[in-house]
A and B are shown apart, each in its own frame.
Chain A
Amino acid sequence: MKTTIEVSDSRLTAFFSGRLDTAAAAQTSEDVRPLLEATNKEIVLDCTELEYISSSGLRIFLSIRKEAAQKNNKVIIKNINADIRQVFAMTGFISLFDIQ
């Protein structure tokens, strides 16, 4: 699992690649720390190369969203595959995120 963050003036984009499972969660939590510290930004979670998300991964996305709401940031999830979209749907989180 690899997480890369790209920073621009008004946006932070996190590119996730691989399987965001329990084993990868601790490192990914560390990697996304800049997203939690941002204020007044658009945060894009680019999931083009994300293959799988577990409960631990969902918790990371939820913590990013929770922190963003407190810091006036907007979170957008982009390019999730069909399986991950189904995970968001079956857990009832699909209405919580802006999934594009």
Chain B
Amino acid sequence: MELLDPHSSLILDEYRTRLPMYNELQDKIESMLRDELAKNELEVTAVETRVKTEKSLVGKLKLKGQKYASLSDITDILGARIITYYTDDVDRIAAMTERMFDIDWDDSVDKRRLHQLDSFGYNSLHYVCRLPESALAAPEMQKFRGIRFELQLRTTLQHAWAAINHDTGYKTGIEIPREYLRQMNRLAGMLELADDEFSRIRTEINDYRRRVQQLVQNGKLDDVMLDGETFKSYFDIRPLDALNKRIAAINQAEIQEVPLMGYMPVFVAFGCKTLGDVDRLIKKYSIDAYRLARHQLGNTGIDIISSAVGLQNICIVCIVHQGGGKIGLRRLFNALNGENSNNEMLAEITYQQAAELINAKER
């Protein structure tokens, strides 16, 4: 191995002495970041930390060892990286980390702002940080006073670009041959656009959710097309509570909440296009759904039911009313519980019960 100059060798010795402290700080920083992200309900792709390896440090010292007076001048001995899903989240997490750490603004770089109007490339936010005094009060924390570390914030797409760019072996944009530089920059521009589009889509989805909630709350159900999002919003107004409570009263049963999303494809199969269609169907068949429940549960003494029982019975009576017969009911149970040959027998029994009730009413 090529020998380091005496000055760089001293820095390397200092690194070897302080390595356990850096390892300890690494764990501390990672757990602080994870806790704070969770507290702020910020979901990210990854939180990564690393302490620079001796090999990497030696490489750096060979290149520019004279630039550093001591190990403390090298800010990336400990590095942390947070990779976000969305570009908006980089700013939110930047604000979060500014609250958590003391930022060394002179050495921190927002590479997103360095680009000229006509250039693209590696966009990322680099902060050089220290633990704040408030985190150093305990005696075991004193050793971290003044220790700087780097924190990178970037999106998943920025990370992919940077990782692949790094894999080319060129550390800076200057070294890379011009023809490849142009191709890498074209990709960076495309990914920047994609990042912006993902953020825009997220904002629009959130706006859509709010709009749907508003329409549902205001009862404008015919204005809301049926999809997974709107189906969920519809049940947030608890349109089945009255029916379920009435069914529960048959045996003084408790009602266990269960998810209802599995019923959405059933309502699509019924031809429902809007939440108005779903609502009309529920209202139309509620009485028969209750009668079916009374017939089934009335002499059982079962005192626990799920919050899906009303909806399930509405689907059953709807199928029987519409002439779907046993095959329709078997399809319903297959949709709710997966394909199973035993569902045929269940469909047969349920059909007899429901058809009997419906025919009795019509007579």
Contact = CB atoms under 8 A, between A and B. Distances in A.
Interface residues of B, number: 32
A100 B337 CA distance: 9
Contacts of A59: 304
B63 interface: no
Given A90-B296, A95-B262, A95-B336, A82 B342 contact: yes
Contact of B308 (A58, A80, A96): A96
Interface residues of A, number: 22
B256 interface: yes
Indicate the member of B253, B300, B310 with the most A CB atoms within 10 Å.
Answer: B300
Interface string A39-83: 000000000000000110011001000000000000000001010
B338 A93 contact: no
B346 A91 contact: no
A80 B341 CA distance: 12
Contacts of B259: 96
A92 B333 CA distance: 11
B351 to A, nearest CB: 12
B258 A89 contact: no
A55 B336 contact: no
A10 to B, nearest CB: 21
22 contacts: A80-B342, A82-B342, A82-B345, A82-B346, A82-B349, A85-B345, A85-B346, A86-B349, A87-B300, A90-B302, A91-B302, A91-B306, A91-B309, A92-B258, A92-B306, A93-B256, A93-B306, A94-B333, A95-B308, A96-B308, A97-B337, A99-B338
Given A90-B293, A90-B300, A99-B337, 8 more contacts: A54-B301, A55-B253, A55-B304, A85-B342, A90-B309, A92-B310, A94-B333, A95-B312
Interface of A: 54-55, 58-59, 62, 80, 82, 85-87, 89-100
